[in-house]
Amino acid sequence: MCSSIGSWPQFYSRVADTNQAMTKRDSDEADLLDSQHLAVSFESVQGARDAYEMELSKGGVFVATEAVISFREPVEVAFSVQGKPPVLVLRGEGVGRSESSQGNRVPGVAIAFIPPMQEVRPLFLSWIESMSGLESEALESLTPCTTFSVHLENGEKEGYELDPLSVSILELAQAGFDFERMLEVIPESEEQIRARVGLLLDLGRLRFT
């Protein structure tokens, strides 16, 4: 799990409302020259995947910190695994704060991402892939004739929570395409497709049949 992410009641609803408003304005208007810098360090690549599934895919992140971030104050959040490169930096803004006196484990701030989620999702997933590469144990069983079953959560059926490459893979899997036929249809490289299949297997969105 993520060592810097905590729970905060009502966080998601506030982030969703704020993020919806942000997507309607040009993100270039955000003045990041004096923005504060926050760091989120995951204990493992799997921890980064879990955080994406449970929190980041919804439009923001809760960062455990003593820093004082004002409402709509621009920040930069640096994501890493155990504090090591590669580091992914995303722009955001403060949308709320949790104090230790409110019964939470640690104080922190809720950050809503400034870029729209259709930009954040592929960035974050590509960052995870850059660390995990083709190391997924599930990929060892992948052959040209491998077929898959698809398992999505509510809200994902229209691809709302997924990037275009993941949506393509899942749609082809639902249509009964084996891995070899996917490679023939999807324009991305085999390395990219294999890495994304491995990620979807690790996330439980794909399963071998």
Every domain of the chain and the residues it spans: 11-117, 140-208
Instruction: Encode pLDDT of 13-55 as tens digits.
Output: 233 333 333 333 444 444 445 678 999 988 778 788 888 888 8
Regarding beta strands 108-113 and 84-98, do their DSSP bridges make them parallel or antiparallel, or are they unpaired? Answer: antiparallel
Rounded to 10 degrees, the C-alpha dihedral 89/92/95/98 comes to 10
Number of H helices, E strands in the chain: 6, 7
What confidence category does residue 102 fall into, taking pLDDT thresholds of 50, 70 and 90? low
Instruction: Encode pLDDT of 68-88 as tens digits.
Output: 899 999 999 999 887 878 889
Superfamily of domain covering 11-117: predicted glycosyltransferase like domains (2.40.10.220)
The total of other beta-carbon atoms located within 10 Å of residue 203's CB is 18
Angle at 43 between CA 133 and CA 119, to 5 degrees: 55
Coil, strand or helix at 185: helix
Please state the length of the chain. Answer: 209
Question: In the predicted model, is pLDDT for residue 137 greater than 70?
Answer: no
Give how far Cα 164 sits from Cα of 11, 96, 188, 198, Å: 27, 31, 11, 16
pLDDT of 2 = 38
The total of other beta-carbon atoms located within 10 Å of residue 180's CB is 11
> Would you give the DSSP letter of residue 164?
H
- Helix 117-132 / helix 190-203 crossing angle, nearest 10 deg: 100
**Distance (Å, rounded) from C-alpha 163 to C-alpha 99?**
34
pLDDT of 116 = 92
Highest mean pLDDT pick, 81-90, 100-109, 155-164, 178-187: 178-187
Give how far Cα 195 sits from Cα of 48, 71, 103, 126, 198, Å: 16, 38, 41, 9, 5
